[in-house]
Amino acid sequence: MDLTRAKELLSELADGINPLTGELLPDDSVCNQAEIVRAFHTVLAAIPAPKEKYIPPNAGKPWTSEDDEKLSQMYDAGSTKKDMCSYFQRTEGAIAARLVHIGKVQSREEYRIKVR
């Protein structure tokens, strides 16, 4: 179970809701006792928020013919994945897809194997 899902479940219990059914917990449920509710909220406050995934500035933007030419040159020169991603401000997946598109590799898997 991932941390986000665990937090969701605990948060619903802290609110007096059965997280599996959505029904209110009975008043005599252990999860409705004040000390238990405070414990849930204490634990939930201590769990860090999930990190937001980094999205490069050029993600989703169209490639230009100049970009294709530069990518081709960098690939032929043996540039690393990190260097290409940094230069174009795009994800590794975007670089791999573009190399397939311009015919430098046959598949993304080939890119993963050939380029370090």
Instruction: Note whether residue 91 is domain-resident.
Output: yes
Instruction: Note whether residue 100 is domain-resident.
Output: yes
Instruction: Note whether residue 52 is domain-resident.
Output: no
108: exposed, middle or buried (C-beta count within 10 Å: 0-12, 13-18, 19+)?
middle
**Collapsing DSSP states into helix, strand and coil, what is residue 24?**
strand
Instruction: Note whether residue 54 is domain-resident.
Output: no
**Collapsing DSSP states into helix, strand and coil, what is residue 20?**
coil
pLDDT on residue 68: 96
pLDDT on residue 21: 86
Tens of pLDDT, residue by residue over 52-105, are: 888 999 998 999 999 999 999 999 999 999 999 999 999 998 999 999 999 998
Q: What is the pTM of this model?
A: 0.56
The neighbour count for residue 110, using CB atoms within 10 Å, is 14
- 7 and 41 both lie in a single domain: yes
Instruction: Note whether residue 53 is domain-resident.
Output: no
Tens of pLDDT, residue by residue over 3-50, are: 888 889 999 999 999 998 888 899 999 999 999 999 999 999 998 877
* Number of domains the chain contains: 2
- 31 and 70 both lie in a single domain: no
pLDDT on residue 63: 95
**Residue 36 domain boundaries:** 3-46
- 37 and 69 both lie in a single domain: no
pLDDT on residue 29: 94
